[in-house]
Amino acid sequence: MNQRRDEILAKRAKLAELKRQRELRASQASARQSIDSNELISPTPGRADNRREIESLIDSLVRESRPVSVSTGANSPGRFGSRPNSVLSAGELSNENNSEFAIPANGQVVTPQPQILSTISSKIVYECPPSPVKEVFSYSKGVQTTETWPTPRHSRAFSESDIDEPPVTASPSKRLSRRERDREEELRENIRKEIEEELRAAKELVTDGVLKPSAAANFPARTLTAEELRAVTQSDEFMDFIDRSTKVIEKALDQEYDILTDYTLQVHDIDEDDEQSGNTGGKGRRKVKEIAQFYDERWSKKRMVSSIDFSPKFSELLLASYTKNPAAPHDPDGIVQVWNLHLHDRPEFVFHAQSDILTAKFSPFHPNLIIGGAYSGQVLLWDTRARSAPVQKTPLTGSGHTHPVYCVDIVGTQNANNIISCSTDGAVCGWSVDMLAQPQETLTLLTPPPAKAEDLAPTCMAFPQADPTFFLVGSEEGTIFPCHRYDRAGAKAGVDARVSYKGHAAPVMSVSFHPSRGPVDLGDLVLSASLDWSVKLWKVRAPAATSAVAATVSTGGAAGLGSALGGAGLLESAVSPLLDFVREDVVYDAAWSPVKPGVFGLVDGAGWLELWDITVETEEPVARISPSPRKDGRTMLSKSLNKLAWEPSEGKRLATGGIDGAVSVFEVGPDLGGKEGLKNEEWTSVKKLVNRLEAVGGNDGAGV
């Protein structure tokens, strides 16, 4: 730091001198300039002589120092005099003007070479008439730019030198300043060397007795003063470094496998009882094992997990959104933490919001983007390349949501996708990822006519794999409604009045479409979880179903209920579930395995994660496990699990989170997840089961 200060001082002195020189030069130049302008307008012979002398001198000098491209055949000063005077054109004049800074100011040698300047009055060669058509500019694309991205900072040395430099007015002086800078650089280098030598000498004097001079010689360590230390440790750059480097080191330390393991050595007590160690559930090929638990003292404390999502691009990353911490009013209410399976003790990223985050999701089309829905009704967008504040958010006005947003999704294709959000007042909005200032489409969901009240309070939303214009919403009253984003044949945009899925007696907490990536299309199977202590399996009608199809089905399904057969297209037909999984507690979430056709997981209010395989057993789960309790966790009412998410590409891991703020990741055995050993029979057996249930269901309906 001292060294630096000395440098700066030296530089200041140097600059002052330079400034003085420049002022001198500037006064000369301005004097000349004024003459110059006078002359161009009305050449007075008396002064012109003097002027010409200077000019010729300048020209000769210029010619020596650099090739002139404007004039022809006048490369040497010797030939210069023989040239016709009238040839001296404006180009050369400007050339002279440009280079006057490069000429040493003291070179006032007089070499009389008379020249006469002549100027030609300007001639109009071509006149462009103004266009008769008035141009109309219009621009309709909007991009929200409320959040400014932090501009990359220059290093301090850079910006300082920029500031210290006297303001450079015109481009001609560039060359000078470069030369100047070079000289400065040289000077600085010298000073630095001197100081370093001094320091080294001092160091040797001080530590001679203790440290070996050889060790100290090329280690110019010196203790920083407290002030300097604080300055360094508080700089953003330093914080960034600490953040990045500690992450790297923690990942290095968290690496479980020891690459230096020598298997030829005597085997010490390697845990043979691996099967029993740790928190496991299920047996054999249907084992479930807890592999990680994520909790951050600073950010997870006293918050609840409101949603979990695995990154579609990086299978080791998962995000969890959290509600507010009532004990920390100064912390942001809502946060999203991105956890890394290779980094156990801290989140990879933390994102903030001013309101509780109720749902968050990685964009499937851009690995850096995360979307979220907030209690305030805002839809937020974060970028992992930016800081923790959202890069975009919807305004808190009436144009978007005014109620809590519990569900968001991104649907569409890589090149054309929209954020769809749904709030508890029944408003559904479609947003462009580029602009969250106002929704691109809005839709209000209303309960279809037979109901007493029109209001519909959606609690969850799900899109099928194939169709971005059709979705299901689970409502607070327990009915699941099919909805269309746009008008289509036979149905208006909004809730499809023809069909509803009735069966739950309490709010529906989740709806999950079957991922249907397999030889048999099972994309119409839907799981719903509800607070009525059950999970139900539904078969959803194709959204494009015409009224005829609806009518025929309604005769089958609703005949037993005594509905009129005629005009079924207008009449609401209630579809009952295919299968009912009754549990011992409220079920908060249920989700299909992304790879195994018959497997799904559910989490309940008692803190259990259950894994089901409907091809094996429809009465009880094939495996169940509860996350290991945190040591300092509360004992009462802290077990309930809110959310469940599968890792989408392999389907071997799933994460749960709940009321205690901890996110637990489990790995399932080969019969419950993973792509190897996937058999086509599994798909067909699910299909057969569904067909059988449908037949039974139809009979039941008729028999009631």
Candidates 133, 163, 260, 267; binder of another protein (CB under 8 A) is 260
CA distance 87 to 117: 9
What's the min distance (Å) between Cβ of 235 and another protein? 8
Q: Which stretch binds another protein (CB under 8 A): 255-263, 393-401, 598-606, 632-640?
A: 255-263
Q: Which stretch binds another protein (CB under 8 A): 22-30, 63-71, 138-146, 245-253?
A: 245-253
Q: How far is CA 230 from CA 234, 236, 238, in A?
A: 6, 12, 11
Nearer to another protein, 14 or 192 (CB): 192
* β-pair type (573-575, 499-501): parallel
Tallying the residues shown for the chain, one arrives at 704
User: What pairs with residue 383 in β-bridges?
Assistant: 369
Which is nearer to another protein, 208 or 694 (by Cβ)? 208
Q: Which is nearer to another protein, 47 or 298 (CB)?
A: 298
If binding is defined by CB under 8 A, does position 616 make contact with another protein?
Answer: no
Q: Which contiguous run of DSSP H or E holds residue 528?
A: strand 525-530
In the complex with another protein, the residue whose CB is nearer, 389 or 544, is: 389
Q: Are 665 and 318 in contact (CB under 8 A)?
A: yes
Q: Write the interaction track for another protein spanning residues 7-46; mark x where CB under 8 A is met and - where it is not.
A: ----------------------------------------
Smallest gap from residue 153 Cβ to another protein (A)? 12
Are the C-beta atoms of residues 478 and 504 closer than 8 Å to each other? Answer: yes
CB of 271 to another protein, least distance (A): 12
Give the span between the Cα atoms of 333 and 308, in whole angstroms: 17
Q: Establish if 242 lies at the interface with another protein (CB under 8 A).
A: yes
Nearest residue to 528 via CA among 483, 473, 482, 575:
473
Helices (H), 234-378: 236-254
Q: Which of 90, 202, 253, 466 binds another protein (CB under 8 A)?
A: 253
Pick the stretch among 386-394, 425-433, 449-457, 529-537 that binds another protein (CB under 8 A): 386-394
Task: State the residue for tokens 């954020």.
Answer: 419
**Which one, 157 or 702, has the nearer CB to another protein?**
157
Judged by CB under 8 A, the residue of 250, 425, 467, 476 near another protein is 250
Shortest Å, Cβ 555 to another protein: 59
Report the residue number, 110 or 206, with the smaller CB distance to another protein.
Answer: 206
* Residue 220 to residue 200: CA distance in whole angstroms: 7
Task: Specify the residue, 149 or 219, whose C-beta has the smaller distance to another protein.
Answer: 219
The residue with tokens 């209690």 is 375
| Least separation in angstroms between CB 515 and another protein | 32
Answer yes or no: are the C-beta atoms of 598 and 682 closer than 8 Å: yes
Residues from 661 through 680 that contact another protein (CB under 8 A): none
H or E segment and range at residue 513: strand 508-513
Nearer to another protein, 124 or 260 (CB): 260
Q: Looking at beta carbons only, is 111 or 246 nearer to another protein? A: 246
What is the nearest approach in angstroms of another protein to the Cβ of residue 335?
Answer: 10
Q: Which strand (E) or helix (H) includes residue 48?
A: helix 45-65
The residue among 26 and 350 lying less far from another protein, judged by its C-beta, is: 350
Residue 535 token pair? 């999970």
Beta carbon of residue 232, minimum distance to another protein (angstroms, whole number): 6
Residues 181-220 that bind another protein (CB under 8 A): 210-212, 214-216, 218-220
Task: List, in order, residues 6 or more apart from 43 with CB less than 8 Å away.
Answer: 116, 117
The CB-of-52 to another protein minimum distance in angstroms stands at: 54
Q: Bridge-partner residues for 246, per DSSP?
A: none
The amino acid at residue 18 is L
Which three-class secondary structure state does DSSP give residue 505?
coil
Instruction: Give the binding-site size for another protein (rule: CB under 8 A).
Output: 48
**What part of residues 221-240 is at the interface with another protein (CB under 8 A)?**
221-224, 229-230, 232-234, 236-239
Question: Among residues 66 and 244, whose Cβ is nearest to another protein?
Answer: 244
> Looking at beta carbons only, is 236 or 272 nearer to another protein?
236
| Residue pair 612/563 in contact by the 8 Å Cβ criterion | no
> Measured between alpha carbons, how far is residue 188 from residues 11, 14, 182, 195, 292 in Å?
8, 10, 10, 10, 54
Interface with another protein, residue 278, by CB under 8 A: no
CB within 8 A of 219, min separation 6: which ones? none
- From 123-131, 251-259, 550-558, 614-622, span contacting another protein (CB under 8 A): 251-259
Among 30, 33, 111, 245, indicate the residue that binds another protein (CB under 8 A).
245
CB of 648 to another protein, least distance (A): 25
- Closest CB to another protein among residues 354, 618: 354
Which residues on neighbouring strands pair with residue 653, listed in sequence order? 667
State the CB neighbour count (10 A cutoff) for residue 473. Answer: 24
The position carrying tokens 């958010």 is 393
Q: Please, what is the minimum distance in Å from the beta carbon of residue 340 to another protein?
A: 13
Task: Decide whether 248 or 565 has the Cβ nearer to another protein.
Answer: 248
Classify each residue of 207-221 as buried b or exposed e, where b means 16 or more C-beta atoms within 10 Å of its C-beta: eeeeeeeeebeeeee
> Which residues fall within 8 angstroms of residue 522, CB to CB, at 6 or more apart?
514, 516, 597, 683, 686, 687, 690
Own/partner pairs, 22-25, CB within 8 angstroms, 24+ separation: 22/166, 24/105, 25/101, 25/105
If the CB atoms of residues 348 and 532 are measured against another protein, the closer one turns out to be 348
Nearer to another protein, 58 or 317 (CB): 317
**Interface with another protein in residues 294-333 (CB under 8 A):** 298, 331-332
Handedness of CA 93, 94, 95, 96 (dihedral sign): positive
Which C-beta is closer to another protein: that of 36 or that of 254? 254
CB of 363 to another protein, least distance (A): 18
Stretch that binds another protein, among 73-81, 125-133, 285-293, 384-392 (CB under 8 A): 384-392
Residue ranges in 458-517 that form contacts with another protein under rule CB under 8 A: none
Report the nearest approach of another protein to the CB of residue 226 (Å): 12
The CB-of-289 to another protein minimum distance in angstroms stands at 21
Phi/psi of residue 143, nearest 5 degrees = -130, 130
Both structure tokens of 693? 């249930």
Q: Nearest approach, Cβ of 242 to another protein (angstroms)?
A: 6
Ramachandran region, residue 602 (left: φ > 0; alpha: ψ -120 to 50; beta: rest)? beta
Minimum CB separation from another protein for residue 222, in Å? 6
Scanning the structure block, which residue is given the tokens 């890792």?
Answer: 647
From the list 44, 85, 246, 628, which residue makes contact with another protein (rule: CB under 8 A)?
246
Strands (E), 356-464: 357-362, 369-374, 379-383, 392-393, 405-412, 417-423, 427-432, 441-444, 458-462
Using the rule CB under 8 A, give the single segment among 59-67, 258-266, 508-516, 611-619 that binds another protein.
258-266
Residues that bind another protein (CB under 8 A): 210-212, 214-216, 218-224, 229-230, 232-234, 236-239, 241-246, 248-250, 252-253, 258, 260-261, 268, 298, 331-332, 345-346, 349-350, 352, 387-389
